[in-house]
Structure formats: structure tokens, C-alpha cells
């Protein structure tokens, strides 16, 4: 009898919560679908915005998928995967963050009935991966290259891509104005991969059209001392000296001790300190520089000294701005004022201090290297300017990607419908269950044009039927037809210049498929309890604290 009793094996710590099997998989799919439903309405030119305020009272208004996902603070472990793919799409391409979340949610939604019917998730995963590969190959086939065009043509084509991105943003009303500004900024930095070479400065007040692009560097006037107003505020072709040293009198350390045998020596020690700073300032003046910038403080003595010699100075310049000035003017940041040679000095065509709204800005324009640009954004509310900055970031990323990969596809849901048609056709050539799975993958891709219609208040069924009709034309001429947001019908997206870089689409489909496959491959969730020993220690310390409090009280009495 004893031999028949199996020993009980305790594998996981007591209190561990495990859930597994089909129910767990369906629960994960439902949570991801719920997340996709949150950002669903933000897609496209007629998409709505989300207002999110956190426990600190910060308010953010945005329709950028990555920003919303980041601020939602999602708790569900499976749904966090969607947050990660939105982040990866944002860092890799810059736009299409809502698309990627929506596609992943829709792939899972289509997979749910199969899972409930008992299909093994690995069969679904295999078919989804095949469909993803076919879809990306089809995108490469449909993409149109903008390589080999003249600079003017290229600018115009890139502006179309930027305008497509901006049309779904809060600043969509001024998309043409900002699109050309973004293209000029990206072309200005050339092949430099550092995104921080394009600075965006926000100045509340004025309207959006008061925003302007500086072909160089602009930053807010730094903290200034007496004598600053006597300095000249405009120079033509000045030499610029960039420093990383303090130019002010330093008091001695708290515990510094100097022993003197003769009181008359005291004055020589005080003079030595003044001589050191005057020597530094003299060397700055002798270098021939007319503009002196430093990352550290430039004190009142130095400010007055420079003012007397018609030199402009600014201390405590932000590290990022100083680096951008160095890149733009061809100067090098110095950590000493000894042996300053002409090669380390920068230059620009015009330096001036200008009033922008309520702020004064130092502007370096006409820089020789031209490897940097600054966009000064104007607008009413702070939240509006913040969202405009996020929108411009997306547009800048898109133009950079289009410039590097130089292939574009038709937007407005056209490419999604064409891939969907192609996959349906391909599915007919496959025997077995995978035909159904690839078909459901193709159906999921239609969520993009459908959502564009829903968000604009059009009849999605009617528009999708018209699109399907166009996309099955044997001549292939309907391949670039997408949703026409203006009329509520369909139109040739390519002819209407609704373009997006092919990398946006291929990256979105890739990331969404990966996320869907990852969630489908999970069949068990294990939630570990907090360590009991840690809980015990916390309780013990709390008791000890209370004991100490009582002891003190008794002594006081």
C-alpha cells in the first residue's frame, strides 16, 4: 500500500500563480486586442487624439502610437509586447507606430477562432511567418525608387513623404509648410546620422506659421551678468571660440590655509588671482574671436572685459547646443586658453541675437560645414507645441529613411489591400489548413484601410468593396488605389502623392508578425510571489520601529 503512494513533488514556491493552456492563450490575445482598441481611433488623417494625464498632473495630448503606449503604463505582461514593438518601430523608422500595434492586434484577433477550435499554435505561427515573408517580398516588388533624380526632384518627392506622415498629426493643417521645412533640415545635415544635429526649440506664442528653420544653430540666450547689454549683438563672419572652462574669479576652498610672514605679501596673493583671470581673458581676446561661448560660467568681470572690447560672450551654454555649434561652425571645444590657433576657431556668415516671442535667441546662420539645422517651433498651448515636436520627429525620421532607402510605396491603405489580395491568391495554391491561416492573415491586413474609413466617418464596407474590385484588375493598374479621405471614396494614392517609405510598411508587418507569433507561442504564465523572507524582514523592522517609539514615549513620561 505504501509503495503505491506517489511522493508529492513541490516544484514551485507556495503562492505561485500559474495559468496555462488554451484559456491562458485566449486571455493573452484578448488583452492585446484591448490595447489595439485603445490606439485604433488615432490612425490616419482623421484620427482622434488621446489626452493622458499621469499622477504627477502632467498632461499629454498625442496621437503618436509609441507615445500613447509608453504613457499608458500597461500592466499585463503579454500586452507589454505591443508596447515594445511600438518602441522598436519608433526607433527604427520613426512612424507607423499605430499601424504596427493595430496589425499585431488584428493578426491575433484572426488567430483566436482557430485557437478556440483546437488548432495547434505552432501551425498558425508557421503559416504567419510564411505570409510575412511573402508580404515583404511583394512590398519590394511594388516599391518605386526615387534614386537618380536631381536634388530639386528629390526634395519634392521627400516632401510628399513628409506630408503623408504629417497629415495624420495635429499639425496636419500646415503639412506642406512643415514638410518642406523638415526636408530642408534633413538635407542640411547630409549624411550625418546623429539625429541631435537637428535641434527643435519650442517658443510659446504666435501661430504655427511663425515657426522657422535656421540653417545653423539657434539657442536661448543664456544667463547673463552686468555688462552683457553693452556687448554687440550682431557680427558678420565672426570667429567663434568654444570653451569648456570657467572665466570667473574663484573663491579659495573652505579649508585653504596660507601662512604669511609679512602682511604685505597678502596683496600679492590677491593680485595673483586677478592676474590669472586677466591672463585668460587677454588670451581669448588675442585669439581674434568675436564670439566666445563656454559650457561653464563666464562671470561679471569677464562679461565687462569682453564688452569693453566689443566681443560677445555667453556662459553656461548647454552641452548639446555647444556640440552643435562646434559641428556647424567647424570649431573645436577648448579646455585651455593657451596656444589658441586659428584652426580651432569656428566661423559663420551671420551671428545675431534676435527676439523670438518672449525669448531672446542667439542665432548662428550660414555655417560653412552646414551639418546642422534648428527648427524654432511656435504655437499657442504648451501641449500643442509638444505634440508638434513629436510630429516633426516622425517626419524627420521618415525623410531620413526615405533618403537612405529611397524606395516608396502608395499609402492610404493601398499597399495593404494589394498585399492582402496577393496573399489570398497565393492561399488558393496551398493545400491543407495553412490555406485558412494565410487567408486570415490577408484579411487582417485589411484593418488599415477599414480603420482609415471608420476614423473619417465613411462607410467602411462600401469603400473596401470598391477597393477589392480595383485590386483584382488583371492589368494590375488598380494596385495603387487606396482610401480617399477627402471624398469618402477611393483614389489612386500614388497619383495623389500619398506616399510612404517602403521600409515603414515592411518593418511594421515584420514587427507585428513577430509579436503575434511570440504571443501565440506562450501557453503558460507563471507569477512568482514576493520573497517570504523579504516580507518577514519588513514586518520585523516595522515591529522594531513601533517598539522603539513606545520606549521613547515611556521615557518621556
Q: Is 184 a catalytic residue?
A: no
Check: CB of residue 209 under 8 Å from CB of residue 174.
Answer: yes
What residue ranges in 320-412 does DSSP mark as E strands?
Answer: 346-347, 350-356, 359-365, 373-379, 407-410
For residues 431 and 120, what is the distance between their CA atoms, to the nearest angstrom? 17
For 164, the enclosing helix (H) or strand (E) is: helix 151-166
- Point out the catalytic residue in the list 90, 95, 321, 394: 394
Please indicate whether residue 394 is annotated as part of the active site.
Answer: yes
Q: Which of 64, 90, 454, 484 is catalytic?
A: 64
64 is catalytic: yes
Report the relative pairing of strands 198-204 and 373-379 from DSSP bridges: parallel
Cβ-contact 366, 402 below 8 angstroms: no
How is residue 58 annotated by DSSP?
A: -
Dihedral sign computed on CA atoms, order 488, 492, 494, 496: negative
Annotated catalytic residue 97: yes
Across 113-252, where does the E strand assignment appear?
144-145, 198-204, 212-214, 216-220, 234-236, 239-243
CB 416 within 8 A of CB 444: no
Could you say which of 33, 42, 67, 98 is catalytic? 98
CA neighbor of 308 nearest in space, from 228, 221, 224: 228
| Alpha-carbon span 427 to 430, nearest angstrom | 5
- Specify whether the CB–CB gap between 213 and 178 falls below 8 A: no
Q: What are the angstrom distances between the C-alpha of 2 and each of 5, 8, 9, 266?
A: 6, 13, 16, 98
Describe the chain by its helix, strand, coil percentages, rounded to 5.
50, 15, 30
Catalytic residue among 42, 60, 67, 97: 97
> Which residues, 6+ apart, have CB-to-CB distance to 527 below 8 Å?
16, 17, 18
Q: Measure the CA–CA gap between 193 and 87, rounded to whole angstroms.
A: 19
| Residues belonging to the active site | 64, 97-98, 394
Amino acid at each position: 500500500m505504501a509503495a503505491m503512494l506517489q511522493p508529492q513533488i513541490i516544484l514551485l514556491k507556495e503562492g505561485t500563480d500559474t495559468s496555462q493552456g488554451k484559456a491562458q492563450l485566449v486571455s493573452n490575445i484578448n488583452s492585446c486586442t484591448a490595447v489595439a482598441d485603445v490606439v485604433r481611433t488615432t490612425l490616419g488623417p482623421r484620427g482622434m487624439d488621446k489626452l493622458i494625464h499621469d499622477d504627477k498632473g502632467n498632461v499629454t495630448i498625442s496621437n503618436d502610437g509609441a507615445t500613447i503606449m509608453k504613457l499608458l503604463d500597461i500592466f499585463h505582461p503579454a500586452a507589454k509586447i505591443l508596447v515594445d514593438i511600438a518602441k522598436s518601430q519608433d526607433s527604427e523608422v520613426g512612424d507607423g507606430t499605430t499601424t504596427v500595434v493595430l496589425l499585431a492586434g488584428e493578426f491575433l484577433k484572426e488567430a483566436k477562432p482557430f485557437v478556440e477550435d483546437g488548432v495547434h499554435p505552432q501551425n498558425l505561427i508557421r503559416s504567419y511567418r510564411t505570409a510575412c515573408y511573402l508580404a515583404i517580398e511583394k512590398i519590394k516588388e511594388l516599391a518605386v525608387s526615387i534614386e537618380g533624380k536631381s536634388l530639386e526632384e528629390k526634395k519634392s518627392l521627400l516632401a510628399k513623404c513628409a506630408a503623408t506622415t504629417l497629415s495624420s498629426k495635429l499639425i496636419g493643417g500646415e503639412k506642406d509648410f512643415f514638410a518642406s521645412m523638415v526636408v530642408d533640415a534633413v538635407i542640411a545635415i547630409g549624411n550625418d546620422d546623429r539625429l541631435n544635429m537637428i535641434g527643435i526649440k519650442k517658443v510659446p506664442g504666435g501661430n504655427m506659421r511663425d515657426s522657422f528653420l535656421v540653417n545653423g544653430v539657434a539657442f536661448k540666450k543664456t544667463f547673463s551678468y552686468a555688462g552683457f547689454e553693452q556687448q554687440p549683438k550682431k557680427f558678420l563672419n565672426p570667429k567663434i571660440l568654444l570653451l569648456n572652462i570657467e572665466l570667473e574669479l574663484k573663491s579659495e576652498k573652505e579649508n585653504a590655509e596660507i601662512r604669511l610672514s609679512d602682511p604685505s605679501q597678502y596683496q600679492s596673493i590677491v593680485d595673483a588671482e586677478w592676474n590669472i583671470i586677466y591672463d585668460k581673458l587677454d588670451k581669448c581676446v588675442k585669439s581674434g574671436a568675436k564670439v566666445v561661448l563656454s559650457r561653464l560660467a563666464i562671470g561679471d568681470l569677464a562679461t565687462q572685459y569682453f564688452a569693453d572690447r566689443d566681443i560677445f560672450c555667453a556662459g553656461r551654454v548647454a552641452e548639446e547646443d555647444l556640440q552643435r555649434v562646434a559641428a556647424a561652425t567647424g570649431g573645436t571645444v577648448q579646455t585651455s586658453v593657451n596656444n589658441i590657433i586659428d584652426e580651432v576657431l569656428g566661423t559663420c556668415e551671420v551671428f545675431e541675437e534676435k527676439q523670438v516671442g518672449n525669448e531672446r535667441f542667439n542665432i548662428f546662420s550660414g555655417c560653412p560645414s552646414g551639418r546642422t539645422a534648428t527648427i524654432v517651433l511656435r504655437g499657442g498651448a504648451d501641449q500643442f507645441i509638444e505634440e508638434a515636436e513629436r510630429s516633426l520627429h516622425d517626419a524627420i525620421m521618415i525623410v531620413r529613411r526615405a533618403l537612405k532607402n529611397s524606395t516608396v510605396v502608395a499609402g492610404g491603405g493601398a499597399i495593404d489591400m494589394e498585399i492582402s489580395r496577393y496573399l489570398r491568391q497565393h492561399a488558393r495554391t496551398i493545400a491543407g489548413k495553412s490555406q485558412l491561416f494565410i487567408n486570415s492573415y490577408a484579411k487582417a491586413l485589411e484593418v488599415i484601410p477599414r480603420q482609415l474609413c471608420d476614423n473619417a466617418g465613411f462607410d467602411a464596407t462600401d469603400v473596401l468593396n470598391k477597393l477589392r474590385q480595383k485590386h483584382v484588375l488583371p492589368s494590375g493598374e488598380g494596385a495603387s488605389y487606396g482610401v480617399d479621405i477627402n471624398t469618402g471614396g477611393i483614389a489612386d494614392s500614388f497619383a495623389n502623392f500619398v506616399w510612404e517609405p517602403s521600409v515603414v510598411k515592411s518593418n511594421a508587418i515584420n514587427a507585428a508578425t513577430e509579436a503575434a507569433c511570440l504571443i501565440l507561442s506562450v501557453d503558460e504564465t507563471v507569477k512568482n510571489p514576493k520573497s517570504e523572507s523579504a516580507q518577514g524582514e519588513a514586518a520585523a523592522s516595522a515591529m522594531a520601529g513601533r517598539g522603539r517609539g513606545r520606549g521613547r514615549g515611556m521615557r518621556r513620561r
